[in-house]
A and B are shown apart, each in its own frame.
Chain A
Amino acid sequence: MTKATDLPSHGADVTADHENHHDEHEHHIPKGVMRWILTTNHKDIGTLYLWFSFIMFLTGGAMAMVIRAELFQPGLQIVEPDFFNQMTTVHGLIMVFGAVMPAFVGLANWLVPMMIGAPDMALPRMNNWSFWILPFAFTILLASLFTEGGGPNFGWTFYAPLSTTYSNDSTALFVFSVHIMGISSIMGAINVIVTIFNMRAPGMTWMKMPLFVWTWLITAFLLIAVMPVLAGAVTMVLTDKFFGTSFFDAAGGGDPVMFQHIFWFFGHPEVYIMILPAFGIISHIVPTFARKPLFGYASMVYATASIALLSFVVWAHHMFTTGMPVYMEMFFMFATMLISVPTGVKVFNWVATMWRGSMTFEVPMLFALAFIVLFTIGGLSGLMLAITPVDFQYHDTYFVVAHFHYVLVTGAIFSIMAAVYYWLPKWTGKMFNVGLAKAHFWCSLISVNVLFFPMHFVGLAGMPRRIPDYSLQFADYNQWISIGGFAFGLSQLIFLVVVIQACRKQGEPVSDRVWEGANGLEWEIPSPAPYHTFETPPVVK
């Protein structure tokens, strides 16, 4: 044997081997639970994220039901105040870190590679890891509820010193679980950035990227910028409580208000982390069902980037009552008001996209339209909250609760539902049960407004948030709010049925394009989307 004869055959073998191996890979996906545990496929991981998020959504929702049951009438009926506080805290943590964020990461996993013409995410093993640490984080968090003394009871914002000197011992579990959530988010964000930077198909220039990809890219940078700040905050809480430091204790030279500065430096960009991908989703759905290209693509990209940049200089608007110098209050008031300009541009662009379109109102469009109206209501109450002198009256009342549920439930969560209905037929190859989906929409739309709209009223009338019991003047509205809450909770079970039916491949087969007006690379591939897509990159003209 000589090298000269060896090399060519060796080379040929390698190719053949590669092809064989490749075929095997196509047809021998590990079966059962191991497929999901070992998977590095972006579609599998996307599915895992979405199901995890749905389970967390129902878990956090169940806690909201406990809260609303207790608040159904004045007096203490069902739970003790301490447990009530644990419910508000864990409800918030689960909805933010367990429901909304993983849902968006799941959508990014499914959609970003398909939208930019990439075969998978850039870092598939890290992708697996970033998902699979999440269930552990939430198991730890939920387990803390069963420890002696109970789970975290200091609000999802965990203000010191309530979360340090005055908290129970399960705070260590809370800190650890938030660390794991943060690591997961950072890994997810790195993956999205690396994928978008390196794996776009030839011809997919920056300003040709679909808006969902753009908004997620910007979101990923926000995540990388602020999740470490959250990690720092929880670590300082941990050392203040257990290791005798005094970051937030005036007696040792610290400052409890510094905690709030650190927390909200994370917390405000976090709010945009939960809404920017939603803007991307709506910017896909509205043009599809208006059968008209998105109005002002470039301005959408610039508006998203401006919102992201501004989000770093507005954090202290959560803290107007903490006693800041008046010039600081003014700075944060003006900066916050400024955010409404790019946000307004987005809403105007969506309306302009609809204008003189040829609209139909399929389920994804219904959710998208509800999003535009209800998110805007949340945005406008946000503008009112930005005005410092009146914020003194609104702050820490139900007016704030109404505001952030309008932007997070009828904003972020409605956009996630819109996205699921929009892309689900592409994922499963079958049209979901349209009748049930419409029932889900109408039940959700009506109940969510019965739930959150009266909160504006009780808030303005003076009901503080995070209280397990209230004075008699708020009784009527709270009853309505609770009824709306139960109805909204039950409506989500319809969603569960629709999704389960779809996953079991029930329904009419759909075409590759699915929706008449749909545009983008993900609609060029077959329905259901094959396990591997774009192994040869498409060329984007």
Chain B
Amino acid sequence: MKKLVSIAMMVWGTLSVASVGLADTQAVSDINLRKGVTDISGQVYDLHMLMFLICVIIAVVVFGVMFVSMYLHRKSRGVKPAKFHESVKVEVAWTIVPFLILIFMAVPAANTLIAMEDTSEPDLTVLVTGSQWKWHYRYMDSDVSYYSLLATQREQISNRYEKGENYLLEVDRPLVIPTDQKVRFLITSDDVIHSWWVPDFAVKKDANPGFINEAWTKVNEPGLYRGQCAELCGKDHGFMPIVVVAKEPAEFDAWMSEQEEAQRKAKEAEQRLLAMNMSMDELMAEGKKVYNATCAACHMPNGEGLPGTFPALKGSKIALEDMQGHLDIVVNGKTGTAMQAFGKMLSLKELAAVITYERNAWGNDTGEIVQPKDVDAFNKGQ
């Protein structure tokens, strides 16, 4: 029995070391860090593999000695125990040798770290703002800015539809950056702490409310790269992915002018909108879309909220009576709570639609219509 035990322990030990060894093969990328698409991410990968290799060697040596001892020095083999219990020489040796190994590790680590933290002289700067539970990107050198939301349908999450290939890793509008240029990210948050992480760039930086962090990347290959929020940020922390598309510089410039044009047109359309009225049906349809994308995460698709955490809108005083209060809380948010100021996130049309929707959905039958120009008037009045 005792022999069996020790053999089993040895087999198990070898197996666990062998399964660690598997992680070394790049063929199965499911179980190891990605090499990524930047010089830095390549260095990080190499450093990871170096560390991993050193750790495996240490483990094999230490466990090897231990298992050999467990096999040889058993009472059942009739071994009489030795008496030794100290040796200054040995103790000094196994203090100094690990120390030297550490220095060997520390040098390349420090070099890579210094390179990673050098955000100077960027070609392009993007302001990345996290909020519950979406990302916002603003190109600092132009007017272009937009939100990037999870694009996976709720029905997939609740298992009513089959899950797509990029389940939970797809967004409606990815961040677009040029390849071969140094892109600097300024990272901050509107509410709690988030963390912007794209594994293929080896960039992970916390988005701290009220402070701005810096990171940078220089992507070598055009492509589409996926990441996720990496800091617990509340209920839907698992549902705010990041997608970055890297384009050749010429393509990127073309894309950028397209965006600038589109942004300008949208503003013009908004101005035109102020002169006309939208119908109840139009507003309700648009409002439902905006509500489900923006508000339903907290106030729930049925408007009932989460008791004790997020207030209900169904039957609430603000949604039924206080029109000015309703406009105010949606446009300006409520300080000290999770309710954000949506005035800067949504267009006048979207704001009007969502407020109309909230006043007329789920049995909130006020029949009141809020037009884009009403929102505009409210904005100008404050």
- Asked if A426 CB lies within 8 Å of chain B CBs, one says no
Assess the B85–A377 pair: CB atoms within 8 A.
no
Near A by CB (< 8 A), chain B positions 213-271 give 213-214, 227-239
Report A224-251 CB contacts with B as 1/0, cut-off 8 Å: 0000000000000000000000000111
- Asked if B112 CB lies within 8 Å of chain A CBs, one says yes
Assess the B192–A166 pair: CB atoms within 8 A.
yes
**Bound-state Cα–Cα, A347 to B98, Å:** 12
- Asked if B276 CB lies within 8 Å of chain A CBs, one says no
**Bound-state Cα–Cα, A471 to B170, Å:** 10
Q: What residues of A have a CB within 8 angstroms of the CB of B44 in the complex?
A: 389-390, 392-393
- Asked if A159 CB lies within 8 Å of chain B CBs, one says yes
Pick from B197-205, B278-286, B356-364, B365-373 the stretch touching chain A: B197-205
Question: A residues bordering B, Cβ < 8 Å?
Answer: 74-77, 81-82, 85, 147-150, 153-155, 159, 161-162, 165-166, 168-170, 249-251, 255-257, 290-299, 321-323, 326, 329-330, 333-334, 337-338, 340-341, 344-345, 347-348, 351-361, 366, 369, 372-373, 376-377, 380-381, 383-384, 387-390, 392-393, 395-397, 445, 449, 453, 456-458, 460-462, 464-473, 477
- Asked if B277 CB lies within 8 Å of chain A CBs, one says no
- Asked if B329 CB lies within 8 Å of chain A CBs, one says no
Assess the B86–A297 pair: CB atoms within 8 A.
yes
- Asked if B165 CB lies within 8 Å of chain A CBs, one says yes
Q: What residues of A have a CB within 8 angstroms of the CB of B381 in the complex?
A: none
Report A81 CB to chain B, min CB distance, Å. Answer: 5
**Bound-state Cα–Cα, A355 to B73, Å:** 7
Q: Which of B2, B70, B227 has the most CB of A within 10 A?
A: B70
Assess the A256–B208 pair: CB atoms within 8 A.
yes
From known contacts A166-B191, A393-B199, infer whether A344 and B32 are also in contact, taking CB-CB under 8 Å.
Answer: no
Assess the B209–A250 pair: CB atoms within 8 A.
yes
Question: B residues bordering A, Cβ < 8 Å?
Answer: 2, 5-6, 9, 12-13, 16, 19, 23, 29-34, 43-44, 47-48, 51-52, 55, 58-59, 62-63, 65-66, 69-70, 73-76, 79-87, 90-91, 94-95, 98-99, 102, 105-106, 109-110, 112-114, 116-117, 132, 156-159, 163, 165-169, 187, 191-193, 195, 197, 199, 202-206, 208-211, 213-214, 227-239, 306-309, 335-338
Assess the A359–B105 pair: CB atoms within 8 A.
no
Assess the B204–A395 pair: CB atoms within 8 A.
yes
Q: Is the interface of B mostly helix, strand, loop or mixed?
A: mixed
Number of A-B contacts (CB under 8 A): 317
Report A170 CB to chain B, min CB distance, Å. Answer: 8
Assess the B116–A389 pair: CB atoms within 8 A.
yes
Assess the A155–B309 pair: CB atoms within 8 A.
no
**Bound-state Cα–Cα, A206 to B197, Å:** 51
Assess the B16–A377 pair: CB atoms within 8 A.
yes
Report B379 CB to chain A, min CB distance, Å. Answer: 22
Q: What residues of A have a CB within 8 angstroms of the CB of B63 in the complex?
A: 373, 376
Residue of chain B at shortest CB distance from A147: B308
Residue of chain B at shortest CB distance from A254: B210
